[in-house]
Amino acid sequence: MKKFILLNLLLLFVIVSCQNNTNVTNSQTQADTTNEHLLMSTVWYQKSAEMRAIYYQSYNLAKMIIDERITTLDKNQKKAVILDIDETVLDNSPFEAKCIETDKSYSKKTWNEWTQLSQAMALPGAVDFTNYAKNKGVDVFYISNRSETQLAVTMKNMKELNFPCVDSAHFMLKTSVSSKKQRRAMVAKDYNILLLIGDNLNDYSEIYEKRNQNLAFDIVDKNKADFGTKFIILPNPMYGEWENAIYGNTHKISKELKNKKLKDCLRSY
């Protein structure tokens, strides 16, 4: 009888162990695939010297454009530059890292948890460039799709990093409309806009919103003279309109379907 009980206990132990192993394997597989698309891009953004060099290169070019454009305008004319905030002047890659770590996605709640900390770091060259522009008599406007409810925490974050023009007159956050067209027009009413800078083509023009099947390649090609002259585009491999376009101009689909669509769109040989 004792032997029988021992044998049963041993069998039970083997079954439970096998089940546990299966569970571990399943959850590992899930964690390996759900935010898989974010891992390499976030590591590149945080750990590649190339990323830093591109930001410096872009902001160096921005200074040259400002210098050149100023000479074409009357001294008394009001001048402005327009910058996006996220992944343009502030580095939110720790938010993406947290999404990978916790296997969560962007949501109002998770995004709010990060922004409330006011702990984003400045991107390379951004503080230097914006102060350079300000010292040349150019107003710096920040047009961002952060929610208006995040104005105070965003200004606190940027003030601590020594960005100029940190006041409500120079911040245009999102109220109800995502398109930045109207906000850009408000600045253009009173100012000569020397340059726009962003990590999303929508930061420059509404023609890049709701992208077509060509993913706006044709529109970019047609307007190639704008880049590095009127608009400076910064790199963001972690998310953006480019990604939404691949999903069909939405990000509200399952992670599994996202991964599938990303793999399906690849051009191979």
64 within 8 A of 81, measured Cβ to Cβ: no
Which residue's CB is nearer to Mg ion, number 35 or number 144?
A: 144
Torsion of CA 60, 65, 71, 76, to 10 degrees: -100
**Residue number, 87 or 209, with CB nearest to Mg ion:** 87
Question: Per-residue DSSP letters for 128-187?
Answer: HHHHHHHHTTEEEEEEEEEEGGGHHHHHHHHHHTT-S--SGGGEEEESS----HHHHHHH
Closest approach of Cβ 28 to Mg ion, in Å? 33
Q: Does 91 bind Mg ion (CB under 5 A)?
A: no
CB nearer Mg ion, residue 86 or residue 91: 86
Q: Minimum CB separation from Mg ion for residue 46, in Å?
A: 16
CB of 240 to Mg ion, least distance (A): 7
Q: Which is nearer to Mg ion, 84 or 91 (CB)?
A: 84
137 vs 143: CA distance, rounded Å: 19
Q: How many residues in the shown chain lie near Mg ion by CB under 5 A?
A: 4
- Least separation, in Å, of the C-beta of 251 and Mg ion? 14
Q: Which stretch binds Mg ion (CB under 5 A): 6-14, 53-61, 173-181, 197-205?
A: 197-205
Q: Nearest-CB residue to Mg ion? A: 86
Q: Measure the CA–CA gap between 255 and 130, rounded to whole angstroms.
A: 37
* Phi and psi based region of residue 165 (left: phi greater than 0; alpha: psi -120 to 50; beta: remaining): left
- Which single residue is written with the structure tokens 């032997």? 3
**CB 229, min distance to Mg ion, A:** 20
Interface residue with Mg ion, options 69, 86, 92, 125 (CB under 5 A)? 86
d(CA 208, CA 197) in angstroms, rounded, equals: 15
Residue among 91, 96, 199, 241 that touches Mg ion (CB under 5 A): 199
CB of 203 to Mg ion, least distance (A): 7
Rg (CA), the chain: 24
Nearest distance, CB of residue 91 and Mg ion, angstroms:
11
Instruction: Return the number of the residue (52 or 78) whose C-beta is nearest Mg ion.
Output: 52
- Tell me whether residue 80 or residue 201 sits nearer to Mg ion (CB atom): 201
Sign of the torsion formed by the C-alpha atoms of 26, 238, 187 and 185: negative
Residue 241 touching Mg ion (CB under 5 A): no
Which of 62, 80, 81, 87 lies at the binding interface for Mg ion (CB under 5 A)?
87
Q: Which is nearer to Mg ion, 91 or 199 (CB)?
A: 199
Q: Other CB atoms closer than 10 Å to residue 247's CB: what's the count?
A: 15
Report yes or no: 95 and 114 within 8 Å, Cβ to Cβ.
yes
Report the relative pairing of strands 79-83 and 192-198 from DSSP bridges.
Answer: parallel
- Rule CB under 5 A: which residues touch Mg ion? 84, 86-87, 199
